[in-house]
Amino acid sequence: MGVGWTEKEAIHLLNRTGFYTNQADIDACLYYGQAESVRRLVAGESLTGKTAMLQPISQLTADGKEMKFDSIGDQQTYWLYRILNTESPLIEKMTLFWHGHFSTSFSKVNDIPLILRQNELFRNYALGNFHELVLEVGKDPAMMIYLDVNSNRKGKPNENYAREVMELFTLGIGNYTEEDIKETARSLTGWSYDRKEALIKFNKGQYDAASKTILGETGAFNETTVVDVLFKQEALPQFIARKLLKLFATEEPSQEWVNWVAKDVRDEERIGGVLTKLFMSDAFYNPDLYGSLIKTPIEYVAGILKAFNIPLSKNYTQAARKMGMELYLPPDVAGWRGGTTWLMTTNLLSRFQFAESIAKRLNNNLFTSKEYELDVQAKPEDYVRKYSQNAGVWSMGEITNQTLAKYANDTFVYATKKTNGMKGLLQLIMISPEAQMK
């Protein structure tokens, strides 16, 4: 690696692969070095040696009440609980990514076990083989219901899944024709999900076994061989490479960088291998990329909750919903748009309201703990640096630093009663421009 391995590079890697960056994880990265840190993150191994003992939903409470398996609101909260407590943050982040990529909404599926089954599918394949994942998604009951696979029959093909598997899942717009969609739909006929029996079924009589021509290839394609055709297309690795770069590196990756990652998508057996090469590359650590991506609402909420060890509440997934992201309920088949849409006026206001609510909940004892302890000679700038790092914000711009230091100076640094000013400083840090970025 030509750019070196210092605290700055470690923070950048942790910001992009997790939900909250603390000193312990930074120290671990510096101790292990770049290669081992990346290996551990991709393998789902704890950086610090901690083990996550995740409790089943039946053993958890939120807002003082038992959580219920058959409540979608409780299941949303439970997924947030997993995010907050996992020692494999990259796996959970990729689970969230696939949820948006293969967008499926509970509003139509209306079956909690099926939604959770799909969620586990994404978690199991989070960093696994993408070809296998596409095959599995095609026979996932939640997806089958969401995109009307039951209506796809010989002589009357339903094109919903065929269209989205090309447009949104593998190739991208412009890399297929309407005829390709029709022929793909024919290839996928015969499959259905029986809700009463809870079984995926194949009816040979409803399968169109005649020859089809798809993307220039002709054959009696079925649900497996048609996916093989998709994976022969140059557009597929380009499409996935661009999405991975937008997720982890930059909103506007160069075509050269896309080409480079696309080669890895073609050559590597697992997405984990693709990301390993990305996180080991000099290009990933270009200083211009640091703090350049906007946190998703779930990332923003989870980071703050982890920073201050806030007890579980159903209000927090609802806060993320107001910011524009509701777990298990993406807006449509294209998923969340992301990027600057996360900071539209109403969404940004919801972030500010969330930060205010958290600041009010902070226990006064927090400010006398060793994590917040400062020398009696500490200056306002010292408080800003210490508090922002505790909040998971490791880099502040000059204007933000000056503004926050003035606030600290005016409200508590030289005052007898400090707590309200300290809470105010943390609130301002949480709503700062830098706190919205990763």
The pLDDT profile of the chain, 438 residues, written as one tens digit per residue, is 467 999 999 999 999 999 999 999 999 999 999 999 999 999 999 999 999 899 999 999 999 999 999 999 999 999 999 999 999 999 999 999 999 999 999 999 999 999 999 999 999 999 999 999 999 999 999 999 999 999 999 999 999 999 999 999 999 999 999 999 999 999 999 999 999 999 999 999 999 999 999 999 999 999 999 999 999 999 999 999 999 999 999 999 999 999 999 999 999 999 999 999 999 999 999 999 999 999 999 999 999 999 999 999 999 999 999 999 999 999 999 999 999 999 999 999 999 999 999 999 999 999 999 999 999 999 999 999 999 999 999 999 999 999 999 999 999 999 999 999 999 999 999 999 999 999
Q: What's the rounded Cα separation, in Å, for the pair 264 and 270?
A: 9
User: pTM value?
Assistant: 0.97
Tally Cβ neighbours within 10 Å of residue 101: 19
pLDDT in tens, 248-284: 999 999 999 999 999 999 999 999 999 999 999 999 9
Q: Strand (E) positions, 152-276? A: 191-194, 199-202, 212-214, 217-219
Nearest to 93 by CA among 15, 194, 209: 15
Sign of CA dihedral 171, 172, 177, 181: positive
pLDDT in tens, 133-187: 999 999 999 999 999 999 999 999 999 999 999 999 999 999 999 999 999 999 9
Alpha-carbon distances of 232 from 16, 215, 325, rounded to whole Å: 30, 10, 34
Tally Cβ neighbours within 10 Å of residue 351: 25
Tally Cβ neighbours within 10 Å of residue 41: 28
Q: Are 280 and 35 in contact (CB under 8 A)?
A: yes
Q: Are 325 and 297 in contact (CB under 8 A)?
A: yes
Q: What's the rounded Cα separation, in Å, for the pair 163 and 232?
A: 17
Name residue 255's beta-bridge partners. none
Q: What's the rounded Cα separation, in Å, for the pair 433 and 399?
A: 11
pLDDT for res 9? 98
Nearest to 77 by CA among 296, 350, 320: 320
